Amino acid sequence: MIEPSTEEYSAENGPNLTPELAIANLQSSDLSLRYYAAWWLGKFRVSQPEAVDGLIAALEDEADRTELGGYPLRRNAARALGKLGNVKAVPSLIKCLSCPDFYVREAAAQSLEMLRDKTAVLPLIQLLAGGVSQAVQVPGRPHLTQPYEAVIEALGAIGATEAVSLIQPFLGHPVPRVQCAAARAMYQLTQDATYGELLVKMLDNSDLKLRRVALGDLGAIGYVAAAEAIAHAKAENSFKLIALKGLLEYQLTSELDALSLSDHAIRVMKLMDSLL
């Protein structure tokens, strides 16, 4: 369900920008420059107030449209705002959750996940209306009616315990990636190992992409009991290292000066060493 073009640029092959130029380009008459500038501001985490304000304004853009009625600039602006970490963007991102463009809703949910602001909980919950039976494929499109994966992950990350009973049924959703998102959120909201183990089981799935998703989820929730299963999963070492790094970081709660390494942390690092 991820839009294929998310990382279509590399920093080398676009126009040379400065933060000032990128902010100005958000209002360029050339729509492609606007689109690129929004991506660039997020990529290089330009968090000055003018960038945040410019991107918030871009969430209302009407000029840049696809044939199917999508809003490319809004998508990029929504994605960038998550990376900039300024909660000023939250109300506008919440508004984007009712945008007719699926990919704008998805980007907004992903960014709200990053900003972790409680005020997003109710609007996110509303996207789960109708439950699993409404969560079906949109005819002719490569996505479901709502960005369930992103919405559920956001609710888990924000700590929306009030959403537990709404998320749990999605463990039985026919799309495995949605199941993963539900298991991830349920673990975050309940700390019940049953849900961590559901993700561990996904590491045996025959689909490599799904195994990578499960690795990412286990890293994000820091489920340390999965360490050996992660190290032995059939996936590239880079994905396993990122997952184990997530586990390790959950073991390192104290400040560094006072940091003493727990046995869990040492165990995780030994596994990481073996994957170099």
Partner 1 sequence: MTEELIRAVTQADTPARMVSAVQNLAAAKDPAAIPTLIAVFGYNNPAAAAIAVAALTELGEQAVPQLLAQIDDYNYGARAYSIRTLAAIADPRAIDVLITAATTDFAPSVRRAAARGLGNLHTANLSFSQSQTALSALLFISQDSDWSIRYAAVVGLQALANVAEIQQPIRARLKEMLANDAEKAVRARVLLAQSQ
User: Which ranges of 27-174 does DSSP label H, i.e. alpha helix?
Assistant: 31-43, 49-58, 72-84, 90-96, 102-115, 121-126, 131-134, 148-158, 164-167
Q: CB nearer to partner 1: give 135 or 248.
A: 248
Name the token pair of 218: 């286990």
Q: CB nearer to partner 1: give 123 or 246.
A: 246
Q: Provide the minimum distance between the beta carbon of 187 and partner 1 in the complex, in angstroms, as a whole number.
A: 21
Q: Provide the minimum distance between the beta carbon of 40 and partner 1 in the complex, in angstroms, as a whole number.
A: 18
Q: Which of 229, 252, 206 is nearest to 215 (CA)?
A: 229
Q: Provide the minimum distance between the beta carbon of 75 and partner 1 in the complex, in angstroms, as a whole number.
A: 27
Q: CB nearer to partner 1: give 53 or 236.
A: 236
Q: Which of 250, 248, 252, 246 is nearest to 267 (CA)?
A: 248
Identify residue 56 by its one-letter amino acid code. Answer: I
Q: CB nearer to partner 1: give 67 or 273.
A: 273
Q: Which residues bind partner 1 (CB under 8 A)?
A: 234, 236-238, 241-242, 245, 248-249, 252, 256, 259, 261, 265-266, 269, 272-273, 276
Q: Provide the minimum distance between the beta carbon of 43 and partner 1 in the complex, in angstroms, as a whole number.
A: 14
Q: CB nearer to partner 1: give 175 or 242.
A: 242
CA distances from 132 to 143, 145, 179, 227, 256 (A): 14, 11, 11, 31, 44
Q: Which of 27, 20, 76 is nearest to 49 (CA)?
A: 20
Q: Provide the minimum distance between the beta carbon of 125 and partner 1 in the complex, in angstroms, as a whole number.
A: 32
Q: Provide the minimum distance between the beta carbon of 19 and partner 1 in the complex, in angstroms, as a whole number.
A: 19
Q: Confirm if 31 and 63 have CB atoms less than 8 A apart.
A: yes
Sign (positive/negative) of CA torsion 10, 68, 98, 189? negative
Partners of 144 in beta bridges: 137
Q: CB nearer to partner 1: give 129 or 258.
A: 258
